[in-house]
Amino acid sequence: MYKEIKAELDQANVTLVAVSKMKPISMIQEMYEQGQRIFGENRVQELVEKHEKMPKDIKWHMIGHLQSKKVKSIIPFISMIHSVDSIKLLKKINKEAAHAGRIVDVLIQFHVADEETKYGFTHAEIDEVIKTLAECGNVRARGIMGMATFTDDQVQVSTEFASLKNRYETMKTQGSLPDTFDTVSMGMSGDYKLAISEGSTMVRIGSLLFGKR
Ligand SMILES: *Cc1c(COP(=O)(O)O)cnc(C)c1O
């Protein structure tokens, strides 16, 4: 399955984050041996443990809701944080990155789904996010991330992805953001094809690659 999906994404010029949450080291190792280097996790503890055990050329992406008090433990090695969903968290990442002497790549998470359970900024908060980013010298804004509603309604899912893409474009045109603001992280196992047709540049795929959790 990995080879097929990877080939499909390469063809579309889309980056694959292999979501390995709840999956054992052995399975990650197997995919690593097939050439995969970017893995996504949603829990700090699990992320730290897997980072310790796995080859050091893996790029670990934090994709889950991150509590400010847990930022410090991932800062030394994290490659990208997709889930920046509050000003407080953004400032905390900047502060810890400065302490560690790093510049950390982040994505701004937006809320577009129907579900209350999903995190992220609203469109109205874009100005404040841009202003804060300008003050945060130790984070590099790489783009945005979001999740569509979990539904079979393809029209709704496409509409939500389109609105995420729109927020990306809004930020890019309004903000004094770097040229490296180039990433739209949207699409999971069930909806990545729709996400790509709406302009995704990075998909986060778990169960389709590793099996059900
Ligand atoms: C678990 C998870 C994914 C992957 O979900 P699948 O449906 O297994 O592909 C993607 N993004 C986030 C934020 C997740 O928590």
Which pLDDT belongs to residue 85? 98
Reported as a pLDDT band with limits 50, 70 and 90, residue 54 is very high
Q: How many residues does the chain have?
A: 213
* Cβ(64) – ligand 1 distance below 6 Å: yes
Whether 189 is in the pocket of ligand 1, judged by its Cβ within 6 Å, is yes
Cβ of 19 closer than 6 Å to ligand 1, yes or no, is: yes
47 CA from centroid of ligand 1 (Å): 15
Question: Ligand 1 within 6 A of 204 CB?
Answer: yes
The pLDDT tens digits for 71-95 are 999 999 999 999 999 999 999 999 9
Q: What is the pLDDT of residues 147-187, one digit of tens each?
A: 999 999 999 999 999 999 999 999 999 878 999 999 999 99
Query: In percent, how much of the chain has pLDDT > 70?
Result: 100
* Distance, CA of 110 to CA of 92 (rounded, Å): 18
Listed residue (28, 29, 36) closest to 3, CA to CA: 36
Q: How confident is the model at residue 117 (pLDDT cuts 50, 70, 90)?
A: confident
Kindly provide the b/e burial profile for residues 150-177, where b requires at least 16 CB atoms within 10 angstroms of the residue's own CB.
eeeeeeebbebbebbbebbeebeeebeb
Mean pLDDT, the chain, whole residue set: 97
Query: Can you tell me the distance from the alpha carbon of 15 to that of 201, in angstroms, rounded to the nearest whole number?
Result: 6
Looking at residue 175, its pLDDT comes to: 74
For position 26, what pLDDT does the model report?
A: 98
CA 184 remoteness from chain centre: 9
Answer for the pair 12, 202: CB distance below 8 angstroms, yes or no: no
**What are the structure tokens assigned to 173, written together?**
């045109």
Q: What per-residue confidence (pLDDT) applies to 92?
A: 98
Please choose, from the candidates 150, 53, 76, the residue with its C-alpha nearest in 3D space to the C-alpha of residue 62. 76
What mean pLDDT do residues 124-135 have? 96
